[in-house]
């Protein structure tokens, strides 16, 4: 998770995924903004896409130990079952 906090304590940027490139792009945009009474800030939320690196993720789980590997495997089975149940519910409508 990444945050950029302004001098007055206002959250300027918050992301659930840390990307140095995206933070850098935000800081460039922020610094280029005009500071005058004709412009006013507004709040936005957006969903962005990131590339998944399954191999690096698996290495991270393995580095964290067998419990992390087992817990994630259980979670994947749970998610698969939820998806199957949702598909069955859609078909039965």
With CA atoms as reference, report the closest residue to 43 among 8, 87, 76, 12.
12
Whole-model pTM? 0.59
Read off the DSSP letter of residue 12.
Answer: E
Burial class (CB in 10 A: 0-12, 13-18, 19+), 42: exposed
User: In Å, how far are 18, 34, 50, 89 from 21, measured between CA atoms?
Assistant: 9, 22, 12, 41
Model pLDDT for residues 12-48, shown as the tens digit of each residue: 999 998 889 999 999 999 999 999 999 998 988 888 8
Model pLDDT for residues 60-82, shown as the tens digit of each residue: 999 999 999 999 999 999 999 99
pLDDT over 90 at 8, yes or no? yes
What is d(CA 15, CA 49) in angstroms, rounded to the nearest whole number? Answer: 12
């Amino acid at each position: 998770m990444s945050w950029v906090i302004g001098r007055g304590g206002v959250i300027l940027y918050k992301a659930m995924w840390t990307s140095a490139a995206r933070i850098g792009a935000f800081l460039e945009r922020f610094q280029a903004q005009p500071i005058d009474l004709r412009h006013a800030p507004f709040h936005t939320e957006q969903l962005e896409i990131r590339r998944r690196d399954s191999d690096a993720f698996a290495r991270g789980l393995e580095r964290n130990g067998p419990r992390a590997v087992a817990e994630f495997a259980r979670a994947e089975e749970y998610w698969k079952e939820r998806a199957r149940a949702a598909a069955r519910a859609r078909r039965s409508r």
